[in-house]
Structures are given as C-alpha cells and as structure tokens.
Amino acid sequence: MTEQNRQRAVRLFVAVLALTALANGLGNNILSNYFNEVFHIDSVQRGFIEIPRESPGILCMVLVAALGFLGNLWMSVAAQALVLVGFIVMGWMSPGYGTMLVSMFIHSLGMHLFMPLNDAVSMDLAEKDKVGATFGKFKGVTTLFNMAAAVMVFFGFRTGFFSFQTRTILPFAIGGIATAGAVVLLAVMALSVPRKDAVKNHALLFRKRYMPYYMVTLAYGCQKRIKIVFAPWVIIDLLGQGADTVALLTIVTHLAGTWLAPFLGRMLDRLGVARMLWAEAAYIALSFSTMGLLTGMLAAGSFDLGDWQTWLVFGAYVLCVLFEQFNMVHSYMMRSIALDPSEVARTLSVGLSVDHVMAIIASPVMGMIWNAWGVQYVFYLAAGSALFQVAAAAMTRERQ
C-alpha cells in the first residue's frame, strides 16, 4: 500500500471509529438503565443477563477462523451489519424480554466480532515504529466520540427528549443510523485496500508462546465486569441515580480518556510492554480497592447520597472505568510476540473468547458475592486479578 493510500485508509477508518464509538456509546451507556426501567431486574438478574450478552465473545474465535478468507475489513462489514440488526430491534420494535435477549445476542455478536478486527486494522494502518502512538490516537478518537454519545445521553434524558417509555427508543435508533454509516465506510475501505490479511487455514489458533496474552485477557474478563456491570450498578442501585447521572460520569471518564489514551500509546512506544503491564496492574489494584472500600462504607450506611463522601465514590467510579484504556497494551503485546503478522487477528479473537469465558463465569458469581457478602468484595476480587498482569509482564520479557 502506498503512503497516499494508507493516509486515505486512515481517514476512512477514523470516520468508522467515530461512528462505531457514537453508536456503542449510545447503546452501552444506557443498557443498565434500560434493563432496570423497562424490565425491572435485580442485581442477581443483572449478573445473569450478562450470559447472553457476553457469550458471543466466546464464538468470536470460531467466527474469525471460519471467515478468515474474507480478510479483516470484510469481516468488519459483517460485524457491523449484525450490530445494526440489534439496534433496529431494540430501537424501533419495543421487544418483549425474550426478543430483547435474542436481539441483544445478535447485537453483541457483531460488537464482539469487531473488537479484535478493530485492533488488527488499527495496527495494520499504523506507521512503522509508531504503532503505540498511532494506536493511542485511534483510541483517543473512539474515546472522544464515546464522550459525545454520553453528552447526548445526559442532555437527552435530563430534558426528556430521550425516554424508555416511548415506542421508539431514540438512543438505540440513532445508534443504528451511525452503525449503518460505518457499514458503508468499511465496505468502501474493503473495496479500495489490498486484501493481504486473508487466511486459508481455518483452524483455531492456540500457541504456548502466546500464553501471556491469554493470561491477561483472562484477567481482563473479570476486571471488565467492574466497568460494564458492577460500577454502574453502584451508581444506579446504591445511590439511586438515573441514566443522566451515569452519562455525566461517563462524560468525565471519556474527557480524561481523550488525554490518557494517546499518553499511554506514547508510553507504550517508550517503555515497552512489560513495564506498561506493571503500570496497569498497579493502577487496577489501587483504583478497584479504593472503590471497594468506599462502596463497603456506603452499603453499611456510613454515609448517604448528598454527603461529601459521595463525590469520592464518583471519583473512584471514573478511575475504575478508565482502566480500560490499558487494553491497547494487550493487543500491542500480542503483536510484539507474534510469530507471523497473519496470526495477530486470529489470536486476538482467541483472547477475546478467553476473556468472555471468564466474563460469563465472573458476572453471576460476582452478583452472588454482592448479595451474600457485600459489594466491596466484588471490587477486591477484581483488584486481586491484577496479579495476572504481573505474571504476564514477567513472561513477556522472556518471549521478546
């Protein structure tokens, strides 16, 4: 690919990232409130509902292996088409509980299929010796438009423009329109960029050499439950806040992330994978433990909504969610230890499946821990999982 064509592909991909981030932000930012206000679920159900939502992640490695002949870009087109189906059903069709679970499964299947492809395409389009910096810039774009979605959710629900009581749920409908745009742009990229990443071998790819990556993604499956499920549930259930408050916290998180993502990308190029894994482990252990301490005090009645300690909970929430910016370190690590560039996307998909096996196990278990022993132990468990990052850092040094 010539430099001119690469630059054009980068511009198109930035637009794709903007649209998909806007769509994902409009969907993911309100799911907990959607479940709560439309279907009136409790914390145990909230944990178990993650099974149909996250099980597509396990299928990801099978799909990437089976569809590898299409190449990363055409697989991305298919992934976003599935996301679009989910948005159409949830946004326009007012589904019942069972239909909602099916449409959420389809939506989630596309979203999870796109995750490893997104990272693989991002690294393919990066300048040589600037993979971390370029990766960070792409993540910054995603974070910026996630923030834009959060702004829309905040003002939409605060003003009454968005509502869960209408037949058409506008955030999902707008997300569907953005996703349709992403499908078109990805198809344009697929038609114009030479296809060099297609594979003929459809076997699942497992190598002992890639064990550090599998370990990190196993831990990430547990840690991500905090961001997606239990940290928002603290705000919604323990503090009794609505979608607008969660959206406002998401705005703050993404505003910080637009700076943090490029910074971590530059540090990745400068410090290397092993040191960044150590930094990630320290960050997770500290932020999750802090949130555990505060939520334990909140559940015990040591303070109430409106007390100054509530602001500490909000701050700890932001720090817990920001940990996801370190995810680029995992993909970069996989690329750095890969025996062949063609194995990167396939191995990223295997890692994603490992992540989601843990997610499906961890979500209901964490929900039961919350009910049986207390919310703080959910966060302490996730903090302890940072030991996997420490072990992966030591193993990565040996393999580079």
pTM above 0.85, yes or no: no
pLDDT in tens, 131-186: 777 878 888 898 889 888 888 888 888 888 888 888 888 999 999 999 999 999 99
Flag residues of the chain having pLDDT under 50.
none
Distance CA 11, CA 363 (A): 38
Range of the domain at 370: 3-399
* The total number of structural domains that make up the chain: 1
Distance CA 202, CA 107 (A): 24
* Residue 268: alpha-carbon gap to chain centroid: 20
Q: What is the DSSP string of 360-378?
A: HHHHHHHHHHHHHT-HHHH
CATH number, domain containing residue 201 = 1.20.1250.20
Per-residue pLDDT, 195:
66
Per-residue pLDDT, 228:
78
* Residue 271: alpha-carbon gap to chain centroid: 24
Per-residue pLDDT, 77:
94
